[in-house]
Amino acid sequence: MPLVVDDKVVALCALFAPGQGFFDTDELALLDELAADVSFALDHIAKEEKLNYLAYYDALTGLPNRALFDDRMAQHLRAASHESNKTALVLIDLERFRVINDTLGRSAADDLLKLVAERLQSVIFDRDSLARIHADVFAALFPDIKDEADIARLVEEKIIGCLSQPFTIAGQELRVSAKIGVALFPDDATEPEALFSGAEAALRQAKGSSDRYLFYARQMNARVAERLKLENKLQRALERDEFVLFYQPKVDLSTGRVAGLEALIRWNDPDVGLVMPMLYIPLLEETGMIVEVGTWAMKRAVSQYAAWQAAGLKPPPIAVNVSAVQLRRKDFVTSVQQAIAGKPEHGLDLEITESMIMEDIESCIEKLKTIRDLGVGISIDDFGTGHSSLRYLTRLPITALKIDRAFVQHMATNPDDVAIVSTVIALAHNLNLKVIAEGVETEEQSKFLRLLRCDEMQGYLFSKPVPAEQASALLAGAGNPGRAEAAGVSGLPQSCVPRNDGGDGEGGMRKDEGETRIMNHKLRMKTLCL
């Protein structure tokens, strides 16, 4: 008689009799019922074992999960406390795992996690001391640690060392790095939960620094508490519409008129007023909230463009910065389409840094082509600070390059910066791209840029970022310094106004003088071009 579990025969029950017809019909029916009962019991045992396994083990890697790891860590720490031994809790967070998941797919990401688990098991011999506790986070216990130097050596040699070799996934070689947080028992904490909190705090700090791993320090708890408080406030800011857009103009250096605007996100905290972007933008990106805020910024910019049109103004294109988190998402193109839906004259431009593009160049090219076909302009922001390839630059469907302020600031005194700016302008113009210089703060910088035939400039020399109301007044008086100043914003600097004479006024740099200084750098320029 077959024993059946999940419609599969898992065993046979055989009975032997001295002769044919030994069992009557009722006895055979009883034996069938007995086989069914045994099958049910086997099925129940198998499911119970499976549920018990899933309750304590990670189904993908076969490693203990957080629940089992916590239990075993508690047992280990109790034993270690009696023996006065130090133990290190190490949390390992794989970097750029989300990028791999988004670009290569979940199957490839799962394969990577399994390979990482195998590598870690090969260097952490006690299998029970290693666990997968989150999507891309592993935890490990190292007993009998002498001091920080001892665990630092183990982290570098075992964990960082085993992850340094490339992984082959779906026929591609991938290099994976990790950020690591370490907490020591009993130095940092004597209770499992507190030790885990310490390691998490160290990991967060490491993720925000250039260090591959960090040890827990007590002051990290205060920083973590502040971070959680800020995270909660940012979530409420989203719900309460506390974010606003400020607009900084881009000036056409040949006409002196406003040729574009960059929309910059500002948080108007009701408790403290406007908050500096550097204090919250990184957290928005880390938590993923930047996706929602970035989508809001695109929609708000398009709405403001329409409002200016309705007011009888002729607004220039409005550029919105795109974060790496947004660009990686598969639905990024859809979010752009939704932002401009129903608005043929949307006036939307996007600014993307070259380092973001180089993360996954092929995927970016396809996304940007689709966006460009929607009539959206695309600029590479902070050009010159990343590691873009000129070969890829010709394939990107971009409309402009923005020269980073780092190359503009010292143009008057640094020949190398002049050479770099000159080369970028020549390169862009040969590719039929517009060039915008960022961070222009002095008359001399703007004059240099005009002589180098830069197309547009942006910076405090003309205007700082201003709210929509002041930007409206600026647009109404664009190219008219008197009207702009009366509206409460900077007037157009004289260096931006084209002149027909040979000089730039008293105290200024004459055109021939500037051209002479530019010519003095031509040898450098040619060297760089080569």
pLDDT tens, residue by residue, 216-247? 987 766 666 777 789 999 999 999 999 999 99
Q: Degrees (nearest 5) of the Cα angle 245, 247, 249?
A: 165
Range with the poorest average pLDDT among 54-58, 217-221, 272-276, 441-445: 217-221
Q: Return d(Cα 2, Cα 272) in angstroms, integer.
A: 75
* Cβ neighbours of residue 442 closer than 8 Å, sequence gap 6 or more: 412, 461
Name the more confident of 12 and 165.
165
For residue 453, the Cα-to-chain-centroid distance in whole angstroms is: 35
Residue-level pLDDT at 392: 78
| Band of pLDDT at residue 27, cut at 50, 70 and 90 | low
Q: For residue 485, what are the CA distances in angstroms to 9, 254, 257, 482?
A: 88, 21, 15, 5
Q: Return d(Cα 127, Cα 139) in angstroms, integer.
A: 11
| Band of pLDDT at residue 503, cut at 50, 70 and 90 | very low
* Lookup: tokens for 411: 């143009």
Question: 367 and 389 in contact (C-beta within 8 Å)?
Answer: no
Question: 350 and 400 in contact (C-beta within 8 Å)?
Answer: no
| C-alpha radius of gyration, the chain, whole number | 32
| Band of pLDDT at residue 2, cut at 50, 70 and 90 | confident
Question: Per-residue pLDDT for 40 more than 70?
Answer: no
Question: Per-residue pLDDT for 256 more than 50?
Answer: yes
* Cβ neighbours of residue 291 closer than 8 Å, sequence gap 6 or more: 323, 325, 326, 329, 335
Phi-psi region of 96 (alpha: psi -120 to 50; beta: other; left: phi over 0): left
* Lookup: tokens for 97: 């795992």
Name the more confident of 90 and 524.
90
Q: Distance between terminal CA atoms of the chain? A: 84
* Lookup: tokens for 441: 């703060």
Q: Return d(Cα 131, Cα 65) in angstroms, integer.
A: 6
339-367 average pLDDT score? 90
65-117, pLDDT tens digit by residue? 999 999 989 998 988 887 778 899 999 999 988 888 877 888 989 999 999 99
147-204, pLDDT tens digit by residue? 888 898 899 988 999 999 999 987 888 889 999 999 999 989 999 999 999 999 999 9
Q: Return d(Cα 55, Cα 62) in angstroms, integer.
A: 12
Name the more confident of 434 and 34.
434
pTM (2 d.p.): 0.62
* Cβ neighbours of residue 327 closer than 8 Å, sequence gap 6 or more: 352, 356, 364, 367
DSSP 386-418: S---HHHHTTS---EEEE-HHHHTTTTT-HHHH
Domains (range + CATH), the chain: 2-56 (no CATH), 66-217 (3.30.70.270), 240-529 (3.20.20.450)
Range with the poorest average pLDDT among 2-16, 177-191, 223-237, 447-461: 2-16
Reduce the DSSP state of residue 202 to 3 states and report it.
Answer: helix
Residue-level pLDDT at 501: 43
* Cβ neighbours of residue 269 closer than 8 Å, sequence gap 6 or more: 233, 237, 242, 275
Question: 162 and 123 in contact (C-beta within 8 Å)?
Answer: yes
> Residue 447's closest CA among 349, 513, 399?
513
139-144 average pLDDT score? 92
* Lookup: tokens for 402: 């923005």
- Across the chain, mean pLDDT equals 83
367-391 average pLDDT score? 84
